[in-house]
Amino acid sequence: MSVNTADLQDLKEEIHMGEVIALMRVMPGEVIDDDKLQKMIDDIKDVVKSPVTLGKIEVKNIAFGLKGLNVTVLVPDDAGGLDPVVDIISKIKNVDSVEVTDVGRV
C-alpha cells in the first residue's frame, strides 16, 4: 500500500496537534530594581512569538529583595518544544537563568 504525500498533509491538517503548557522560573543574576524587572517582563512579551502563546507572568519574591518571574507558556507540539523558548528568554538583558519548573499536556 502506498500513501500519497498530499494525503498525508491533508491528514496532518485534520488532526489537531496537542499542546504543552509550561511554567518557567526566570531569574536575574542579582537584586534589580522594579524598573529593570518591568523591562524584563516587557522584553519577554516582545520575544515570545507565535506559535507559542504567552500566558501569565507573575513576580515572585525569592529572598532578601531578590525577585524572580514565573512565566507560563503554551507551546504546540509541532513548535519544536520548550528549548527554543528557554533559549530566547535566556538572551534577555538581566536574565541569569531560565528553568522549566512544571510541564503538562493540554
Q: Is the pTM for the entire model greater than 0.85? A: no
Helix/strand/coil for 9: helix
The rounded distance, in Å, linking the Cα atoms of 103 and 75 is: 10
Helices of type H across 5-105? 5-14, 34-47, 83-90
pLDDT digit string, tens, across residues 19-78: 999 999 999 999 999 999 999 999 999 999 999 999 999 999 999 999 999 999 999 988
22 vs 79 pLDDT, higher one: 22
Specify the pLDDT at position 6.
52
72 vs 8 pLDDT, higher one: 72
Average pLDDT over every residue of 89-105: 96
Q: Please, what are the domains in the chain?
A: 17-105 (3.30.70.60)
